[in-house]
A and B are shown apart, each in its own frame.
Chain A
Amino acid sequence: MTITVRRPIHHYSPTREKRWRRRAILALLLLVSAVLQGAGGRAGIFFHFRPDLVLIVVVCWSLRQGPAGGWWAGVGGGLLSDLFTGGILGMRALSLGTAGWLAALGSRSLYRAHLTTRVLMVALAVLADGAIYYLLLCVFGEPPGWSAAWRDIIWPRLWQTVLIAPIWLIPAERLLGGER
């Protein structure tokens, strides 16, 4: 008697399913972050308070998934941000992608379990993102002077994002789960 074992066409893999579920949560988190950042129509005093929630989510993902994961999350989050902003399509994607990649690269030798370290990586990512975006503006647009850009754009964005980072990092980390 011969027994034929048929291989299932779609092999069920719990790891793969988990990975896709995390990616879906990441996409949802990025969308929620972008929408919340943009929900300023009736926000009154929040008009000038614009912490970069999308960047926080990207850094959170990149610390867990490594440089490649950080890059792709940054590009995705950046493209989404590009839709919500008046700039050139793709510029934010490139700057945030690079910031995500750098955040993962820079945190390799650090003790990432501590919240302060993660907030520090958020701060560094804001600086990297701002510097790269400024350079891209020099090529593709009309940038303000470097000192004005630092004083009026990058610095307010830095402290506002760092201020919100602990609040936004914790739920994002909970939702995105552990490291790969």
Chain B
Amino acid sequence: MRRIVVAVAVVLAFAVLFSISPALSSLLKINLLQLLGPAQELGNAAFAPLAYVVGSIGRTIEAARVNPVLEEQAGFLAAEVSRLKEVEAENRQLRSLLDLPDRLRYRGVVARVIGRDIRHWNQSVLINRGGADGVEREAAVVSSRGLVGKVIEVAPRLSRVLLIIDPASGVGGAIQSSRQTGIVEGTAAGGCLMKYLPRRIEISPGEAVVTSGLGGVYPPGLLIGMIAAVRPKQEGIYQNADLEPAVRFDRLEWVMVLQ
């Protein structure tokens, strides 16, 4: 008899858990997790020396590999910077002629990444800023390299950011050169895929993809990544393209939550 009562109670408990709204579920989770904040900080502190040692070895090997490539790129970029300075100066003059205000600069809250998602199924990180610091749900999150994701759970001093590489994430993107729009979604492998690109357009690997601003969550012009490979389709009107995210999510330490 006791076993039946327990079984019924368990079924009921799970039924209640699964029927509560996602917003309430998120609120409950992030506030409970905030109580474990000190434990999380302690875990980070304990893990940091080991991560530093192993990370340093990895970084040294990688640095030796990419250094010649970067030196080559630096030369090209110096020329590009010089050209862009010219364009900027010209742009400033034209803007003043047209009496347009300066392009809006983003304001935001700088936050530190204090934890990652513990499962392979989801791609999110925890940051040490929350509602008390002005962080709001659905706010876009960027790093110095580009778009990171959006805030999905907010507690007073803690927030969870859904990364753009999460399969549940969808960002309105545009190829910077052609302005062709599509949807950038995360993949199970932890990468990005740009969908709904018309088959008739030509896309080349290396083209930059930025946020289109469609959908209202992400402001336009934030760098998402570069086209890595095109997946041509024999049927249908669309084609997909693999994206190399601009942000190195495995080295994400500081982010800015846009306000």
Measured CB to CB, the residues of A under 8 A from B are 31-32, 34-48, 50, 52, 54, 75, 81-94, 133, 137, 140-142, 144-145, 148-149, 151-154, 156-157
Looking across the interface, which residue of chain A has its beta carbon closest to that of B24? A89
Docked pose: A164 CA to B160 CA in angstroms: 27
Indicate whether A142 sits within 8 Å of B22 (C-beta atoms), given known contacts A83-B36, A85-B121. Answer: no
Question: A39 and B47: CB pair below 8 A?
Answer: yes
Q: A50-B118, A85-B122, A86-B153 are in contact. List 18 more A-B contacts (CB 8 A).
A: A32-B43, A35-B36, A35-B43, A38-B118, A39-B44, A40-B115, A41-B253, A42-B52, A43-B51, A44-B55, A44-B251, A46-B54, A47-B116, A50-B119, A75-B10, A87-B119, A144-B167, A153-B188
13 of the cross-chain contacts (CB-CB < 8 Å) are A35-B40, A41-B44, A44-B59, A44-B250, A45-B54, A75-B10, A84-B117, A90-B17, A93-B14, A94-B14, A142-B168, A148-B189, A151-B189
Q: Chain A at the B interface: mostly helix, strand, loop or mixed?
A: helix
List 9 tightest A-B contacts by C-beta distance, closest first.
A90-B17, A47-B250, A44-B55, A40-B116, A35-B43, A86-B124, A37-B118, A144-B188, A39-B43
Chain A residues near B124 (CB-CB < 8 A): 85-86
**CA gap between A43 and B45 in the complex, in Å:** 11
Q: Report chain A residues within 8 Å CB of B59.
A: 44
Q: Is A83 a contact of B33 with CB atoms below 8 Å?
A: yes
B125 interfacial by beta-carbon distance below 8 Å: yes
Complex: A93 Cα to B10 Cα, angstroms? 11
Q: In the complex, what distance in Å separates the CA atom of A50 from the CA atom of B124?
A: 13
B117 pairs with A86, CB closer than 8 A? yes
Instruction: Report how far A41 CA is from B58 CA in the complex, Å.
Output: 17
Contact B36 A45 (CB under 8 A): no
A residues in contact with B22, CB < 8 Å: 88
Chain B residue with the shortest CB-CB distance to A144: B188
A134 to B172, alpha carbons, bound, how many Å?
Answer: 27
Q: For B55, what are the chain A residues with a Cβ–Cβ distance below 8 Å?
A: 43-45
Q: Are A41 and B115 in touch, CB under 8 angstroms?
A: yes
Assembled-state Cα–Cα distance A94/B18 (Å): 11
Q: Is the CB of B115 within 8 A of A137?
A: no
B153 contacts across to A, CB distance below 8 A: 86
- In the complex, chain B residues whose CB is within 8 Å of the CB of A145: 188
Chain B residues within 8 Å of A47, by CB:
116, 249-251
Q: How large is the interface on B (under 10, 10 to 19, 20 to 34, 35 or more residues)?
A: 35 or more
Contact in complex: B47, A89 (CB < 8 Å): no
Question: B188 touches which one: A37, A54, A91, A149 (CB < 8 A)?
Answer: A149
Interface hub of B58, B119, B160 (most chain A Cβ within 10 A) = B119
Question: A48-B190, A140-B18, A152-B190 in contact; A84/B33 too (CB < 8 A)?
Answer: yes
- With a cutoff of 8 Å between Cβ atoms, the chain B residues found around residue A92 in the complex are 119
A153 with B116: in contact, given A38-B43, A39-B44 (CB under 8 Å)? no
Q: Does B120 contact A (CB under 8 A)?
A: yes
Minimum CB distance partner of A136 in chain B: B18
B32 at the binding interface (Cβ < 8 Å): yes
Q: Is B174 an interface residue (CB 8 A)?
A: no
Closest Cβ–Cβ distance, residue B111 to chain A (whole Å):
11
> Among the listed A44, A52, A141, which residue makes an inter-chain contact with B51, where contact means beta carbons less than 8 Å apart?
A44
| B118 shortest CB reach to chain A, Å | 4
A133 and B51 within 8 A (CB): no
Q: How far is the CB of A129 from chain B (nearest CB, A)?
A: 10
Given that A46-B51, A84-B117, A144-B188 are contacting pairs, would A41 and B122 also be in contact in the complex, using a CB cutoff of 8 Å?
no
**Which A residues lie within 8 Å of B40 (CB)?**
35, 38-39
Among A37, A48, A84, A133, the most chain B Cβ lie within 10 Å of the Cβ of A84
* Contact B188 A42, beta carbon cutoff 8 Å: no
Please name all residues of chain B whose beta carbon is closer than 8 Å to the beta carbon of A82 when the two chains form the complex: 29
B101-144 near A? 1/0 per residue, CB < 8 Å = 00000000000111111111111111000000000000000000
